[in-house]
Amino acid sequence: MSLLRGLVSARTWLAFTHHVAGLVLAIVSFTLVVTGLALGVGLLPLALAGLPVLGLTTRFADGFAAVERARFALLLGAEFTAWPADPDRTYRALVIPRRRTLFGRATWGRQAYAMLRLPVSCVTVTLTQAFWAVGVTLLTLPLYWRHLPPGGPSVNGNLLITGAGVTPALWASGIIGLILLLAAPPLTRGLAAADAALARGLLSPPRGAALKARVTQLEVSRERVVDAAGAERRRIERDLHDGAQQRLVALAMELGRAKAKLADDDAAAALVDQAHTHAKAALAELRDLVRGVHPPVLTDRGLDAALSGLAARCPVPVDLQVDVPVRPRPAVEAVAYFTVAEALTNVAKHSRATHVRVIVDGGPAPAGTLNLVISDDGIGGADPSSAGLRGLADRIEGIDGALSVESPPGGPTIISAVIPCA
């Protein structure tokens, strides 16, 4: 029954349509690609006049590969990964393509597929149509043999039709036709599967390259997210600094003048004095909030000045050494700053330390690393899985860095971070 269902299966006829459509597209692709390559190579000695022709041929092969991937997905349900987009898709690269574009694995794979499409389609269409046509013809021969002239069809010189009627060979032809017809659906689908394997091998990157391209794409997208988050923090800092903070400064000044004028009225002066105190406290809290979101000094003067401010505000004496000859990108600076800030906060709250040492060392540019070491002489016992340290580790790992914590009971505690600058 499965063989009979194959005769009317949608998969069978979609595969048959796939073979016929492939032959039509193959004629166009073979003609244009072979002509373009021959003309481009032939014109290369003439002052490189063949480069634009080769560039156009390459772009056509790219477009044909996209059409083929869509055809395989629509008719066969076979989807396969495309090569990463070519970053050189510019007008200049179209006129004078780069060597990497002309001789890359993706380029010659697409062009080879465009040229192989015609012979492959000829074979698949010939085989499928031969099985279907011959099978139907031989199977139905006993139905219309009476209308054929005597002495027509024969097998090995033996007439299938004689004056006496149907010969055994005629019945054998019907059996052969049935076999061919039942074999046609699996043959059609099998050739389509082989065709898909060929297309996948030439139009898709190898599995390792596909994974590498996906990893690269995720790295780029992650970097954009980190940069966008940093830009958003800087915007919030500017809005707070230029908006609410300035209004609170003006309010505190106005309350100070009102307090001076109301010196004779004790009750009013007390209310104004209380409001003045609250305004100054709110202003101090807002400044701390701005520094927590993104310190302005980090954007304006860099990591050395920002860390110097942190060290000055820390209640535990801090020995700070910063040696960063080349300023890293903003995302790296922000991560380094908040790592030191969180570490100093933990020292002040939990370590009972009397001294902290912070060393920031920048590696050679342009693809160096930023190395952070924060050590104290406290009681130790810091838990790397705590919320604060785990958050620092996640933040550093978000830009491919690494954080290590050494804090045995009794101390000392050493927090080390390595942040890539590239």
pLDDT, tens only, 143-195? 766 666 654 555 555 555 554 455 666 777 778 888 888 889 999 999 999 99
Cα–Cα distance for residue pair 229/341, rounded to 1 Å: 18
The first and second tokens of residue 398, run together, are 């978000």
Which pLDDT does position 21 carry in this prediction? Answer: 93
Q: Looking at the predicted structure, is the pLDDT value of residue 91 above 50?
A: no
**3-state DSSP call for residue 90?**
coil
Entry pTM: 0.50
Which pLDDT does position 92 carry in this prediction? Answer: 45
What pLDDT band is residue 31 in, cutting at 50, 70 and 90?
very high
Q: Taking residues 288-294, report their average pLDDT.
A: 55
317-329: b (≥16 Cβ within 10 Å) or e: ebebebebeeebe
Q: Is the dihedral of CA 146, 151, 155, 160 positive or negative?
A: positive
Report DSSP state, residue 409.
T
Q: Looking at the predicted structure, is the pLDDT value of residue 93 above 60?
A: no
Which pLDDT does position 369 carry in this prediction? Answer: 82
> Cβ(298)–Cβ(324) under 8 Å?
no
> Cβ(374)–Cβ(415) under 8 Å?
yes
Report DSSP state, residue 357.
E
**3-state DSSP call for residue 323?**
strand
Which pLDDT does position 258 carry in this prediction? Answer: 64
The span from the first CA to the last CA of the chain, in angstroms, equals 63
Mean pLDDT of the chain: 75
Q: Taking residues 315-333, report their average pLDDT.
A: 84
Q: Looking at the predicted structure, is the pLDDT value of residue 322 above 60?
A: yes
Q: How far is CA 1 from CA 6, 7, 138, 182, 188, in A?
A: 9, 10, 21, 11, 18
The amino acid occupying position 132 is: W
Report DSSP state, residue 243.
I
Which pLDDT does position 90 carry in this prediction? Answer: 46
Which pLDDT does position 327 carry in this prediction? Answer: 82
> Any idea which residue has 């923090």 for tokens?
233
Cα–Cα distance for residue pair 215/187, rounded to 1 Å: 39
Q: How far is CA 184 from CA 7, 130, 260, in A?
A: 8, 9, 103
Which pLDDT does position 187 carry in this prediction? Answer: 92
The amino acid occupying position 291 is: R
- DSSP alpha helices (H): ranges in 240-329? 245-261, 266-293, 296-301, 303-313
CB atoms within 10 A of CB 68: 21
What pLDDT band is residue 18 in, cutting at 50, 70 and 90?
very high
Which pLDDT does position 8 carry in this prediction? Answer: 78
Cα–Cα distance for residue pair 126/131, rounded to 1 Å: 9
Q: How far is CA 6 from CA 176, 179, 192, 211, 325, in A?
A: 18, 13, 14, 37, 72
Cα–Cα distance for residue pair 360/372, rounded to 1 Å: 5
Length in residues, the chain: 422
Q: Which of 194-203, 278-287, 378-387 has the lowest mean pLDDT?
A: 278-287
Cα–Cα distance for residue pair 176/158, rounded to 1 Å: 16
